[in-house]
Amino acid sequence: MRPGISLHTSRPSGEVAREKPSGLFYKSMANPKDKLFSLSPTMRAGMLLLIYSAVITGSLVISYLFRFDFSVPTEHIAKWLRFLAIMIPLQLLSLYAFGQFRSLLTYFSLPDLKRLLFALAVPAVILLLLRYTRYADIFPPKSIVALNAVISFCAIAAVRTGFRVIREKLSEGGGQNVHMKRVAIIGAGNSGARLHSEIRARPGLNMKVICYLDDDPRKRGTLLHGVPVVGKTDDIARVKSDIQIAKVIIAMPHAPAEKIREIVARLNANDLEHDILPSFALSLKSGASVLSLRHVQIEDLLGRDAVDLNAENIRRMVEGKTLLVTGAGGSIGSEICRQIASYDPDKIVLLERSEAALFLIEQELLKIHPASKIVAYPADINDEPRVEAAILNFRPSVIFHAAAHKHVPMMEAHPAEAVTNNLIGTRRIGRLAAKHGVEKFLLISSDKAVRPTNVMGATKRLAEIYLQTLQRRPNVTTKFLAVRFGNVLGSSGSVIPIFQKQISQGGPVTVTHPDVTRYFMTIPEAVGLVLQCGAEGEAGDIFVLDMGQPVRIADVARQLIELSGLRPDKDIEIQFTGMRPGEKMSEEVTYENEILSLTHHPKIRKLSVPTAGFPDLDSEWEKIENQIDTMEAAAVKAWIHRQVPEYVVQWN
């Protein structure tokens, strides 16, 4: 045993990957040398006007010299002045139209180069076409027009590139960068190249990319942004010794989990600080960024692929509308809030009974969205008058119902609380949604609802059944949907945070059984697919998410120990404690009489559910609402079993 071990050994204590780049970036902008380029918009436009005018004038002179072999006839000198009076306004107008006066003078990239090409090609084409009119003599010869366009393009590009080089050299020479951290990037592809460019553009990060590592033999010995590809990932130890790198960034967002595990093991063995560009960052943030970098986490080692979402369908459901999220401070609810906020809703109502959790998600969202869009609404879903007031005041188009009790052993000990929150709470807010004509109501369900062996799963199944019966009632226009999925990595109450705490305390890590398996998803992945279901679902649909292959919990424990730089059963012991009440060896996603069908998304399946067999038990459930507070645990479980006969009751 090694007490007091920190889990994230490759990152200094207290460092937060997501916050650090942003803060350092602003710090870097305070560099006195950067003030050389911190011009006001008016001054920048004026400087660009002078530069562009000088370049156009010089380009036209050079074009004439080239055209006439450096001996311009006297009669063409007067024409040159007339042509100049045409060329300068026309090209300047085109440069303005293509955004070249709004560009930062010292930041010049490939997209800027493309815009510059079009900005100078358009006036050239116009002038060439005008040569075929009866006013042809007013305009420059075709050869002059073509030469001038090429020379102007090359000259302006050279000037802009020169300013960028000067800025980068001055930044690299700043006092705060004397001791820059030497960085190696694993992955000499598009993601690695983009990260390198961003690191160079942000000198305040105090990082300098020294080399690349890549297993593609064709890249070995080549240069990327002037930096060599010095070897493959097996060469980490040699590279650390020969080149003296201090940090490694893994920029392989599509690499298989086995490869990431192998790389992380080598980095830990060589005591190298490391971060990773997660695959899901590409689907949600549209590209590689230092703001996406974080420490390697368990999801990187479990092989969850990036999810492609139909953003337009989700946008149609969210944009310009009011949405209400119950359980908004929880793991799933808060991520729903984050993701729907990016689709420009009119308002998000955060309904949450935990004041602390509600405050945290409210403050997080307010940092990036105006206060008019974010409404913190402290309430319990069982407080029917207050919930109804929220629906009446804000008129949500969609309700995402994520509020629930989900801790299996705890709910076994307190089944009345599970019924109160998971069933009665769902029943009350579902009725209100139908009463007030909410367009869609989406229930976050669980794979534990299938042939449940615990109270939590059985109450989730009852919530599904209730919404199905509610959907069949006459005059109900609300579309009630449910989405089943399994464990999400890092959610509150899940096994991952428990293992992490046990490792940080020196162990042991406790696992119920060597062969117990579970399905796992990342929180962003699960929520992204939930939004996709909400966007495409119709009345009464129950969706099942593709959870991939089940994972042995014992393997997860071993990987987390290795991720911390320690050795399973040597530095940290793994103890098997036996199955707890209500737990299964493995989870299921459907009943035998439920048929899975394909949808438009490869990771989403739709259930064909025989709802006709469900009686409308509203009067029965009305009784349980009135009696639940006084019922014994055994009586509550017996009542659940009568409603869900397939529920396997754990009586002790």
Tokens of 573: 């012991």
Which tens digit of pLDDT belongs to each residue from 586-636?
666 555 555 666 677 777 888 766 554 556 667 778 888 888 988 998 999
Q: Range with the lowest mean pLDDT among 99-103, 242-246, 556-560, 610-614?
A: 610-614
Cis peptide before 396 (omega within 30 of 0): no
Q: Are 127 and 84 in contact (CB under 8 A)?
A: no
- Provide DSSP, 426-463: HHHHHHHHHHTT-SEEEEE--GGGSS-SSHHHHHHHHH
pLDDT of residue 231: 87
Give the confidence band of 386 by pLDDT, cuts at 50, 70, 90: very high
Neighbours of 30 (CB within 10 A): 10
- Domain 20-31+175-294 matches domain 311-489+521-546+592-643 at the CATH topology level: yes
pLDDT of residue 359: 95
Residue 564 has pLDDT above 90, yes or no: no
Strand partners of residue 487: 520
Q: What angle do CA 290, 197, 214 make, to 5 degrees?
A: 85
Residue 346 CA to residue 615 CA, distance in Å, equals 39
Amino acid letter, 599: T
Neighbours of 45 (CB within 10 A): 14
pLDDT of residue 409: 83
Q: What angle do CA 567, 571, 576 make, to 5 degrees?
A: 85
**Residues 642, 644, 646, 650: is their CA dihedral positive or negative?**
negative
Q: Range with the lowest mean pLDDT among 147-151, 159-163, 528-532, 638-642?
A: 159-163
pLDDT of residue 331: 87
Which tens digit of pLDDT belongs to each residue from 488-531?
776 665 677 788 788 888 878 888 888 887 767 778 888 888 99
Residue 216 CA to residue 198 CA, distance in Å, equals 23
Residue 303 — left, alpha, or beta (φ > 0 → left; ψ -120 to 50 → alpha)? left
Q: Within 13 Å of residue 256, how many CA atoms lie on the same side as its CB?
A: 3
Amino acid letter, 502: Q
Residue 28 has pLDDT above 60, yes or no: no
Q: Which helix (H) or strand (E) holds 637?
A: helix 633-643
Alpha carbon distances (Å) from 206 to 163, 201, 236, 586: 21, 11, 22, 48
44 or 261: whose pLDDT is higher? 261
Residue 196 CA to residue 605 CA, distance in Å, equals 40
How large is the average pLDDT for residues 166-187?
67
- Which three-class secondary structure state does DSSP give residue 643? helix
Tokens of 196: 């390198």
Tokens of 236: 């980490």
pTM, 2 dp? 0.61
To which residue do tokens 């380009």 refer?
59
CB-count exposure of residue 349 (10 Å: 0-12, 13-18, 19+): buried
Strand partners of residue 596: 607
Amino acid letter, 523: I
Residue 213 CA to residue 235 CA, distance in Å, equals 8
Which tens digit of pLDDT belongs to each residue from 61-102?
888 788 777 777 776 676 777 777 887 888 888 888 887 776
pLDDT of residue 587: 62
User: Measured between alpha carbons, how far apart are the two ends of the chain, in Å?
Assistant: 34
CATH for 20-31+175-294 is: 3.40.50.720
Residue 395 CA to residue 345 CA, distance in Å, equals 13
The CATH class given to the 311-489+521-546+592-643 domain equals alpha beta
| β 207-213/181-186 pair status | parallel
Which tens digit of pLDDT belongs to each residue from 291-340?
556 666 666 666 555 566 778 889 999 999 999 999 999 989 999 999 99
CB-count exposure of residue 136 (10 Å: 0-12, 13-18, 19+): exposed
- Where exactly are the structural domains of the chain? 20-31+175-294, 33-172, 311-489+521-546+592-643
- Provide DSSP, 213-268: E-S-TTTTT-EETTEEEEE-GGGHHHHHHHH---EEEE--TTS-HHHHHHHHHHHH
Tokens of 295: 């420490």
Q: What stretches of 576-632 show up as alpha helix (H) in DSSP? A: 618-627
pLDDT of residue 353: 94
Residue 178 has pLDDT above 60, yes or no: no
Which tens digit of pLDDT belongs to each residue from 429-473?
999 999 999 999 999 998 888 888 889 999 999 999 999 889 888
Tokens of 292: 């996406």
How large is the average pLDDT for residues 547-572?
78
Strand partners of residue 181: 207
Residue 525 CA to residue 514 CA, distance in Å, equals 27
**Which of 582, 611, 278, 273 has its CA nearest to residue 414?**
582
Tokens of 254: 């599509």
To the nearest whole percent, how much of the chain has pLDDT over 70?
A: 78
Residue 568 CA to residue 560 CA, distance in Å, equals 9
Residue 367 has pLDDT above 90, yes or no: no
**Which of 343, 319, 297 has its CA nearest to residue 494?**
297
Q: Range with the lowest mean pLDDT among 203-207, 222-226, 345-349?
A: 203-207
**Which of 649, 9, 2 has its CA nearest to residue 268?**
9
**Which of 462, 469, 427 has its CA nearest to residue 446?**
462
